[in-house]
Chain A
Amino acid sequence: MKKKLLGALLVGGLAASLVGCSGGGTGASGASGTSGKTLEVWDMQQSSKDINAAYAPLVKKFESDNPGTTVKVTAFPYEQYRDKVLVAMKGGTGPDVLALDQVWMAEFAAGGLISPLDDQLASSKAIKQSDFFTGAWASNQYQGKTYGVPLNADVWEQMYYNADMFRAAGLNPDAPPTTWDGWKQAADKLTKAPDQFGMSLIGCKGETSVVLTDSLLFSNGGKVVDGDHAAFNSPEDVQALDQYKKLAADAPAGTSGTCEQDAVGRFTSGKAAMLLDGSWQQDTMKTAAKFDWRIAVPPAPDGKKFVGALGGFNLAMNAKTKSSDLAFKWMEFMSQPDNQTAVNSLIPALKDVGTKFVQANRKQPDVVLNTLNGGAPRPLSPAYPAISTAEQNAIQAIIGGKSATDAAKDANTAIDQALQDLK
């Protein structure tokens, strides 16, 4: 009798504790506050620069300038960043301030996940629109309101090339190819499969292959979206996709699974002679490329000029934050020249700071700055993820052997569908 009672009590206690622990995860409430004293900040990492370490002294300075506050900064690798941000923001456990890719701004603003900052910006003395690169500031606009403060701005891409391999193949390393036809010829000459290849191309399912392809489209005068309908199967776009296909033939097998880090590895290990990547990757080259590596403006079609695809990150404020005053203070803090320089491996978004940064840290700074100033943005639409997916599928199909015309047509239909779904 006693044993049964004891048993029943234990089981009842277990059941009660289970019911109790199911309610633990719903801590974040819906109301946003203004005067919290803790701040959680998320940023991302795309090159080999240690961003977390760069933030440490800044956190200390901010905490000492604002006594009683605690700041926690975490930097995630870019390839996982969107997943983490989406899950956290949708689940209500996101950070107070987060770095968002330019192409995600419209989506997050339309979804109500980030707050407009017009009121705070109007009364802020530390942040002025004219201090920032135009393209970077423009990416924060959605339906007439400003949703973020630019943190960095950069452009896809530069062409890295291995001067030693050029010399070995009989090409002049001081005169890299400048036209698309010349590019293909150089790539052919440099390809001696399976030991070495002309191109290291990014083709995996992800945003990086899209932005690379967009730069080819823009350089040829093509567009992805025109107003509110797709413009992806224009002749210019098809020619650009065709050029991608030609280059992929001179790249190692498996381009459809090659992401940015894989492509960089192929270049730094001497497997491929040319690489298309952003100027931030120069940080990696300095330590990993043990040969005469150079950069150049990527080739453009005959008679046209190379146009890069703009990118970069903005600081946005979580709509559910309880520390909105502190969060805005952090944004002002990060808009100070020294601070922006310290934590960025992409070009800081303040014009003066960015220019100095490029001149101090990059080979051929004029080239980089020209590409940045001449770049064009990707479509800034809440439907961007679906547009990007359509382009990724087109790229994968082309690598798999589909013709550029067919792939462009399918992608065009999908992009139109995505824009329709918005309405």
Chain B
Amino acid sequence: MTAQPTTVHRTGSPHSGPPRRTRRGAPAYKRRELLLQILCVAPPCLLLLALVGYPLVQTLYLSVMKSTLIQRVPTFTGLGNFVKIFTSSSFWTVAANSVIWTASVVVLQFVLGMGAALILNRRFFGRGLLRAAVVIPWVMPGVIAGALWKLIYEPYLGPLAQILGLVGVPAQNAAWLGNASTALFAVIVVGAWKGFPLSAVMYTAAYQNVPEELREAARLDGANSWQVFRTVVLPSMAPTIRSTLVLTTVWTFNYFDLVYVLTNGGPGNSTEIFPTAIYRIAFEQVNYGVSSAYGVVSIAVLGVFTFLYLRQLNKSGSLNR
């Protein structure tokens, strides 16, 4: 770097003397800059307030009210809605389904995403095409993906039944989506298929950012590829993995259209998760009070999870290690 020029002439130049100060003591240009910053931040804040803040407050308000199609004017009912849902067995089924659904899909998406990232980082013929193709499930609208997999799972005419028949599996004509014992599992498979491309893309980028020198060093020290992966690659990718896991957890927990189209929460309520339950209670049974109570519980669960997760990250050295 070149050396800075020497002292500024203080006398005789038009801008001599200290900068002009206003009565408050802050320079005028700094106040203009502050005003500009406020104006820049205002639109997103207004949007957040309108699109997130208002519905949140409305949900909290309705959750302590009795509000149905017939009870047009909401009346205060305190914790009545919460008592009602916590003492109903269907709530606990929904909660259990949501936890199983979220955990399984996130884990599967991680495994599939990481696998796809590793495979797609090697050079082979057709890699470009495969990289484009792998994104298709994620880009497909959830409703169409649901309709597509409903056809795939069709017990007699669907491709899955045909393939199982060729292989000779006795359960070839099982109704995967129609049996309470297999429906959640079948829906989880579709959820993992739908979302893994996002993880694959994130992990591909992170993998490419792992310094080659570290890997070389590990290999020189005698590590085999699995050890290189475990001790060098994974820790380097850790920040991306952590943020992707948080994102996929929240998105999966709130996923509505796929499950709704596939099973509508059925059979019974074996695939009813929080979003479908809230929709059903709000719009089919028209009970805004109870569905808002479900909503508050849903937000609380996600909020607690995110808080604990981020606190754990801060403890172990922050997102940017």
Contacts and interface: CB of A to CB of B under 8 A. Distances in A.
Contacts, number: 106
Q: Is the interface of A mostly helix, strand, loop or mixed?
A: helix
Contacts of A254: 155, 175, 177-179
The bracket for how many chain B residues form the interface is: 35 or more
Given A11-B43, A14-B43, A254-B175, A204 B284 contact: no
Most B CB atoms within 10 A — which of A82, A193, A396?
Answer: A396
A363 B268 CA distance: 36
Residue of B32, B35, B175, B178 most packed against chain A (CB within 10 A): B178
A385 B284 contact: yes
A53 B290 CA distance: 41
A19 interface: yes
A77 interface: no
Contacts of B70: 107, 110-111, 382, 422
B283 A15 contact: no
Contacts of A82: 284
A86 B36 contact: no
Contacts of A90: 69, 286
Q: Which of B50, B155, B264, B286 has the most CB of A within 10 A?
A: B286
Interface string B146-187: 000000000110000000000000001111011110000000
A252 B286 CA distance: 33
Nearest to B285: A385
Interface of B: prevailing SS: loop
Contacts of B156: 194, 252, 271
Contacts of B268: 256, 393, 396-397, 400
Contact of A204 (B39, B50, B174, B264): B264
Contacts of B74: none
A116 to B, nearest CB: 16
Contacts of A193: 173
Given A111-B70, A385-B284, A253 B173 contact: yes
A255 interface: yes
Interface residues of A, number: 43
A292 interface: no
A112 interface: yes
Given A194-B173, A389-B284, A397-B268, 8 more contacts: A11-B40, A19-B46, A22-B50, A110-B69, A110-B70, A111-B69, A194-B155, A205-B264
A391 B36 CA distance: 61
B36 A253 contact: no
B132 interface: no
Interface of B: 32-33, 35-36, 39-40, 42-43, 46-47, 50, 69-70, 72, 155-156, 172-175, 177-180, 263-269, 283-286
A197 to B, nearest CB: 10
30 contacts: A4-B33, A8-B39, A11-B42, A11-B43, A14-B43, A15-B46, A18-B46, A18-B50, A22-B50, A83-B284, A111-B286, A193-B173, A205-B264, A253-B175, A254-B155, A254-B175, A256-B179, A256-B268, A257-B263, A257-B266, A382-B69, A382-B70, A385-B284, A389-B284, A389-B285, A393-B269, A396-B268, A399-B267, A400-B179, A400-B267
A253 B284 contact: no
Interface in A3-50: 4, 7-8, 11-12, 14-15, 18-19, 22
Nearest to B54: A22
A386 interface: yes
Contacts of A257: 175, 177-178, 263-264, 266-267
A87 interface: yes
A82 B42 CA distance: 40
Interface in A236-265: 252-258
A299 B198 CA distance: 55
Given A82-B284, A257-B266, A393-B268, A11 B39 contact: yes
Contacts of B36: 4, 7-8, 11
Contacts of A87: 283
Nearest to A389: B285
B117 to A, nearest CB: 35
Contact of A396 (B43, B177, B266): B266
A398 to B, nearest CB: 10
A253 B155 contact: yes
Nearest to B47: A18
Contacts of A386: 285
Given A111-B69, A112-B72, A194-B173, A400 B180 contact: yes
Contacts of B269: 393
Contacts of A389: 284-285
